[in-house]
Amino acid sequence: MAFSMFLRNPACTNLLRQQVKRLELQPALTQRSITSALSTRTLVLDKTKTSPILNSYRAFRATCVRMSAEKPHDHSKLWVIEKATSALLVPLIPLGLLIPNKLFDSVLAILITAHSFWGLEAIVVDYVRAAIFGPVIPKIAIGLVYLLSVATLGGLFYLISHDVGLCNSVKQLWAVKAGQKS
């Protein structure tokens, strides 16, 4: 992110423009490729003779990103919340197992669901990209992450309100495992 902010800086964009103009005016050093024989301005106008280097040059824009009327998103606050959630889980899980009640169960259900949602969302955003899968499949994958998270939270709340509770069910599972070994 810092690198992209650096590239958007007016001083950097002016420097990049100057370097590109120098490259356009510089005579060809070798005759290996089309780009070395012709200036980039000539190649941009002639669409039949393009090279991968020129295509990446045209795709790169060093101008400022246009923002909408709303404020830009600040993801650093979300990162702090994610780390605080992970840190809260460390003492709350043993505390909930020692003192099982609906309050600890509810807080644990919310924190576990949020923690798993953020992890799954990061996986989907990183690996199910529109450049690879097209525009529809990433949206379906994010929708499935939301659906899974809502179902998880609903199931945990159902377990808390209509059954023995989250921490008591974990204790019961451990008791079954201990009883099977003997």
Q: Containing domain of residue 54, as a range?
A: 2-59
Asked whether residue 24 falls in the same domain as residue 91, the answer is no
Widest distance between CA atoms in the chain: 84
CA–chain centroid gap for 19, Å, is 33
CATH of the domain at 143: 1.20.1300.10
Q: For residue range 98-136, what is the model confidence (pLDDT) as tens digits?
A: 999 999 999 999 999 999 999 999 999 999 999 999 999
Asked whether residue 93 falls in the same domain as residue 157, the answer is yes
Asked whether residue 103 falls in the same domain as residue 34, the answer is no
Instruction: Judge whether 16 and 62 are in contact, CB under 8 Å.
Output: yes
Position with higher pLDDT, 75 vs 28: 75
Is pTM beyond 0.85? Reply is: no
Asked whether residue 44 falls in the same domain as residue 81, the answer is no
